[in-house]
Each structure stands twice: as C-alpha cells, then as structure tokens.
Amino acid sequence: MKLIDFTGKYQELLELYNQTEDSEAEIALEAELDSVVDAIEVKAEACAWMMKQMESESEAFDKLAKHFAAKAKYRSNAASRLKDYIAYCLMGNTLKTKSFSFGWRKSVSVEVLDEGLIPEQYKRIKTVIEPEKKLIKQDIEAGATIPGVCLKENMNLQVK
C-alpha cells in the first residue's frame, strides 16, 4: 500500500470510530487504527530514507557536473592554446599533413574602441525586470500594502 492509501484508511477508520457507540467495535477500531498508524510510520520512514538517498545522490551529481564542467573548460582552453601555438608556428603559411590541412581564411569582425562614441542606433538595450521579492516581503511585513502581491504561508516539510 502507498502512504497516501494508509492516510485515507486512517481517516475512514477515525470517522467510523467517532460514529460508533459499541465498545467492542471501538476496541477493534482502536487496534486497527494503531496498526494503520504503525504502517504510516514505517512507510513515512522508508520514504524519508529514499528522499535522503536521492538528495545525497543529487549533491554528488552536482559535484560531478561541476567537476566535468571544469575539465571541459580546461580542455577547451588547452585546445585553443594549441591552435594558437600552431598558428604562431606556421606564421601565415599553409601546411598539409597526412591527417590535416592547415590554411588561413579571412574574416572581418567589429572591434569596439570606445563604446561611448557609438551612436544609439547601433546599441541594444537589455532589460531584465523582475519583482524584488525580499524587499516586497520586508515592506509587507512592516505594514505596507503593495498591489499585485500577497504573502503566502507555505508548509514546508523538514526531515532531520
């Protein structure tokens, strides 16, 4: 059975228990309620162990991702340095080997010398507008009324 099923069963038994007037039925329902509570505890503990394991794995994967990202950046930089080294050694000459051909291709790029002198038509504006939630929360808690927002109370499960 799933944890949610045990919770539903507990609610059903609790309603029956509250409605019954027979003492023998009450005793049987109490025993059944106790067994459901025990099952809920066992299931919740198993879920918590799984959750902790998954959190641990997630942290390990994050560390691995950072490790591999650093390795990838190092390799990319090393490859770029090798390309620069080959370019320096060839000094503009072409070269053909068994596996590779080294040649030159012209390209044109824009180099910005003084950004302040560039006319506005050649500039773009990047704007990011987002609510300043920490400030909003502080002001509302201080008594301010801010349209378009409200404080929402959340119930966050803590597993220690």
Residue 106 confidence class, pLDDT cut points 50, 70, 90: confident
Asked if residue 140 lies in contact with residue 151, where contact means CB atoms within 8 angstroms, the answer is yes
Residue 127, φ and ψ in degrees, nearest 5: -125, 130
Q: Which pLDDT value is given to residue 4?
A: 81
What would the pLDDT profile of 18-34 be if each residue is shown by its tens digit? 888 888 888 888 888 88
What would the pLDDT profile of 46-90 be if each residue is shown by its tens digit? 889 999 999 999 999 999 999 999 999 999 999 999 999 999 998
Domain extents in the chain: 3-105
**Strand ranges, E, within the chain:** 95-96, 101-102
Model pTM score: 0.55
